[in-house]
Amino acid sequence: MKYLFKLFSIIIIIITSNSYSFAAEKVEYIKTEWSFKGLFGKFDRASLQRGYQVYTEVCASCHSMKYLSYRNLAEPGGPEFSEAQAKAIAASFEVTDGPNSDGEMFTRPGKLSDKFVMPYDNVKAAQAANGGAYPPDMSVLVKARGGGVDYIYSLLQGYEEAPSNVSLDDGVYYNKYMYGNKIRMAAPLSDGLVEYGDGTNATVEQMSKDVTTFLMWSAEPHLEARHQMGFKAIVYLIILTVLVYFSMKKIWSRIESEV
Amino acid sequence: MSDHDYKPKSKVGQWFNDRLPLLTLANHLTDYPTPKNLNYWWTFGGILTFCLITQIVTGLTLAMHYIAHADMAFESVEHIMRDVNYGWLIRYIHANGASMFFLAVYIHIFRSLFYGSYKSPREIIWILGIIIYLLMMAAAFMGYVLPWGQMSFWGATVITNLFSAIPLVGEGIVTWLWGGYSVDNPTLTRFFTLHYLIPFLILGLVVLHIWALHVPGNNNPVGIDIKKPSKDTVPFHPYIVIKDGFALLMFMIVFAFFVFYAPNILGHADNYIEANPMVTPAHIVPEWYLLPFYAILRSVPDKLLGVVAMLSAILILAVLPWLDTSKIRSAVFRPLYKQFYWILVADVLILGYVGAMPAEGLYLLIARVATAYYFLHFLVILPILGFKEKTLPVPLSITEPILGGSPNLATARNKESKIE
């Protein structure tokens, strides 16, 4: 038994230390407390709703979120807008549908079942509008970046004057957390850019945190269910392991041998 | 295999068993005499069977929702993660299950290396195991391609391109593998087909692996031949079943931790970016379990020789029973081999580490030294060691040293408990 514990701990250390070494960036990210981390981690509902507001008022003008539907906004474990609210949000978007019986495409207000409307029709259109750079789809963005939420959170606050030895082309900005420090996105947030309905002060830091929380949820919409089930599953397994351990001891006591 | 005299109790049972001796098989499996001194390193065979079944069951379920098309694969995986009931659970079990499978198989292989389980009369078990391991790598590699992320696409490009190192026909073979002039939809669909097929081949080989095991019976930590059945053995059921079950549960706790609390830690972030043939990732790295071989591949400056070195590193294991000239199986009684064994373990871990690093500077140098040592271990050290090494006295039976036979045997037993 002892060996098994030792073995597992060694293996976990090796694997985790190994996979951390994949992350090439050596910058220290800005640290903050995330409510969704840890054994019982849950999303901060209010933060998710504010994060959606930041996304839809700021990010969504360039970044798509094509794997999300408006119905997700009302589902448990997410921002949990009421169904009426989610319907109203969906209806505020124009969705192209069709063809109708005349063979024509038409626009109608969005429904809960619609995917998030994309700011551009396709990648080429997005590039054309953004000086050749493609604003990445944000659905799984947090999982697609080595530093995860800490990276996104830091990046949003990482804009500063370029050091004198760095020359920037037109439409390129300096960000100390970006890989290579050059980014094609202008600083998207500024204090008071959005007006939060719940009266929270919309500082850059606050908006960064809210929108990053929202992005974490959009990448892992079942995170809360996963944490809850994980805790139950592991407790169950531990209890079962203890029971089986004593059964094993009992069975092996019939013979003169150690187990 | 002393159970040919087994007779079912009921008339119906006898009638059936005379025609298809399934009950004899079941009886053999439950009564199968197993050395009673097997330690927990021996539980990984059962754990691996669990891993294989888990991968097959979750894989079948995923295949019901996955779409093997270059334009839809990535989206269908997101569909599984978001909209399929418990799709996130099934996919995370499958993705982390591959890592758990390799974790278990490496422990299983290194247990074999330590206790000399590959030696006569168990060479066929060992070689079947190596074939299973090769198929596992193929299945895992192709499985990693299916989500059609950036690392899927570029990993597939790098690995399939290795075949272009073959003189004359290399380029043709690569085109044939791709089903076109680059990794694209035809590559994805054939990888999906093969990824679906290979686990069942593995399952068949596992049956042979266990069958071949049941002919000579298990090796054991002392590494001596034992009489079966005897005081040295216990019936497989319930003794080994409960012990394997206990170890499996411990393993499942680790497994569950990854699935529920760190499901993406073993993967690469770039694989959540949809495949894009126009953008190459900064570092293309395979999954962690292939890193030692990746390091060997990159440590050789010539492409063809690199591929040869990588393949030899695996295939050399198949001839291991004949490279190891020592008559003594267990490292417990081989003081020198034991040290070289741990050096090899360290060597492989170092190879894994440098495999994840860029192939330049100090990392490249370390990779080259570690690669050279890997081959040195198998081709030079092992054959010579068998002749030069002074081994410790080996007990005559498992029970004897425990009951305190001769003083020599007691020392042997003490030595053994120390290493465990």
User: How far apart (Å, rounded) are the C-alpha atoms in residues A44 and A79?
Assistant: 8
What value, to the nearest 5°, has the Cα angle with vertex B163 and ends B159 and B166? 150
User: How far apart (Å, rounded) are the C-alpha atoms in residues B225 and B175?
Assistant: 51
- Is it the case that residue B399 has pLDDT exceeding 90? no
User: How far apart (Å, rounded) are the C-alpha atoms in residues B117 and B132?
Assistant: 16
User: How far apart (Å, rounded) are the C-alpha atoms in residues A30 and A153?
Assistant: 7
Give me the residues of B, 238-297, that contact A with CB < 8 A. Answer: 238-239, 242-243, 245-247, 249-250, 252-254, 256-257, 259-266, 268-270, 272-273, 282-283, 285, 288, 291
Q: Could you tell me the CA-to-CA distances from B318 to B82, B292, B386 in Å, in that order?
A: 44, 18, 18
A251 touches chain B (CB under 8 A): yes
Cβ atoms of residues A214 and A54 within 8 Å: yes
Side-chain-side CA neighbours of B352 within 13 Å: the count stands at 18
The dihedral built from the CA positions of residue B137, B139, B140 and B146, taken in this order, carries a sign that is positive
Mean pLDDT along residues A210-217: 98
The reported pLDDT for the residue numbered B404 is 46
Side-chain-side CA neighbours of B155 within 13 Å: the count stands at 27
Side chain identity at residue B396, one-letter code: L
Q: Closest Cα partner for B269 from A211, A16, A140, A217?
A: A140
Mean pLDDT along residues B321-339: 96
Average pLDDT, chain B: 93
Other Cβ atoms within 10 Å of B14 Cβ, number? 13
User: How far apart (Å, rounded) are the C-alpha atoms in residues A255 and B281?
Assistant: 59
User: How far apart (Å, rounded) are the C-alpha atoms in residues B315 and B402?
Assistant: 39
Q: Closest Cα partner for B60 from B100, B103, B93?
A: B93
What value, to the nearest 5°, has the Cα angle with vertex B175 and ends B174 and B178? 85
The reported pLDDT for the residue numbered B40 is 97
What end-to-end distance do the CA atoms of chain B give, in Å?
Answer: 30
User: How far apart (Å, rounded) are the C-alpha atoms in residues B353 and A155?
Assistant: 29
- Is it the case that residue A17 has pLDDT exceeding 80? no
The reported pLDDT for the residue numbered A259 is 73
User: How far apart (Å, rounded) are the C-alpha atoms in residues B17 and B24?
Assistant: 7
User: How far apart (Å, rounded) are the C-alpha atoms in residues B355 and B333?
Assistant: 34
The reported pLDDT for the residue numbered B409 is 47
A164 touches chain B (CB under 8 A): no
* Long-range Cβ contacts of A80-88 (<8 Å, 24+ apart): A80/A45, A80/A48, A80/A49, A81/A49, A81/A52, A83/A112, A86/A112, A87/A111, A87/A112
Mean pLDDT along residues B139-164: 96
Side chain identity at residue B134, one-letter code: L
Give percent helix, percent strand, percent coil of chain A, each to the nearest 5. 45, 5, 50
DSSP for B216-250?
Answer: T----TT-----SSSTTEEEIIIIIHHHHHHHHHH
Cross-strand partners of A69: A115
Is the Cβ pair A234, B288 closer than 8 Å?
A: no
User: How far apart (Å, rounded) are the C-alpha atoms in residues A63 and B391?
Assistant: 68
pLDDT digits (tens, 9 = 90+) for B194-248: 999 999 999 999 999 999 999 999 999 999 999 888 889 999 999 999 999 999 9
Cβ atoms of residues B340 and B283 within 8 Å: no
Is the Cβ pair B282, A145 closer than 8 Å?
A: no
Model pTM? Answer: 0.91
Other Cβ atoms within 10 Å of B319 Cβ, number? 14
Grade residue B118 by pLDDT with cuts at 50, 70 and 90.
very high
Percent of chain B with pLDDT over 90: 90
Q: Which of A137-151, A169-183, B286-300 has the lowest mean pLDDT?
A: A169-183
Cβ atoms of residues B198 and B135 within 8 Å: yes
Other Cβ atoms within 10 Å of A211 Cβ, number? 27
Grade residue A256 by pLDDT with cuts at 50, 70 and 90.
confident
| A-to-B residue pairs, Cβ atoms closer than 8 angstroms | 125
B76 token code pair: 């269908």
User: How far apart (Å, rounded) are the C-alpha atoms in residues B40 and A4?
Assistant: 7
Q: Closest Cα partner for B273 from B181, B147, B163, B120?
A: B147
The reported pLDDT for the residue numbered A2 is 52
Mean pLDDT along residues A224-238: 98
A12 touches chain B (CB under 8 A): yes
Percent of chain B with pLDDT over 70: 94
pLDDT digits (tens, 9 = 90+) for A93-116: 999 999 999 999 999 999 999 999
Residues 6 or more apart whose CB falls under 8 angstroms from that of B135 comprise B198, B201, B202, B205
Give me the residues of B, 357-416, that contact A with CB < 8 A. Answer: 357, 402
Is the Cβ pair A251, B263 closer than 8 Å?
A: no
Grade residue A3 by pLDDT with cuts at 50, 70 and 90.
low
The H or E element containing residue B309 is helix B303-315
B272 token code pair: 């959540």
- Is it the case that residue A67 has pLDDT exceeding 80? yes
Grade residue B252 by pLDDT with cuts at 50, 70 and 90.
very high
Give me the residues of A, 165-204, that contact B with CB < 8 A. Answer: 179
| Min Cα separation B398/chain A (Å) | 10
Is the Cβ pair B352, A238 closer than 8 Å?
A: no
User: How far apart (Å, rounded) are the C-alpha atoms in residues A200 and B277?
Assistant: 44
B312 token code pair: 């030899």
SS3 call for B54? helix
Tokens 């969704």 appear where? A36
Q: What is the DSSP letter of A94?
A: E
Is the Cβ pair A18, B288 closer than 8 Å?
A: yes
User: How far apart (Å, rounded) are the C-alpha atoms in residues A226 and A118?
Assistant: 29
The reported pLDDT for the residue numbered B407 is 46
User: How far apart (Å, rounded) are the C-alpha atoms in residues A242 and A151?
Assistant: 41
Cβ atoms of residues B213 and B9 within 8 Å: no
User: How far apart (Å, rounded) are the C-alpha atoms in residues B239 and B233?
Assistant: 10
What end-to-end distance do the CA atoms of chain A give, in Å?
Answer: 8
User: Which residues in chain B are closer than 8 Å to A244, comparing Cβ atoms?
Assistant: 242, 245-246, 249
Nearest CA in chain B to A78: B82
pLDDT digits (tens, 9 = 90+) for A151-176: 999 999 999 999 988 888 888 999 99
Cross-strand partners of B233: B35
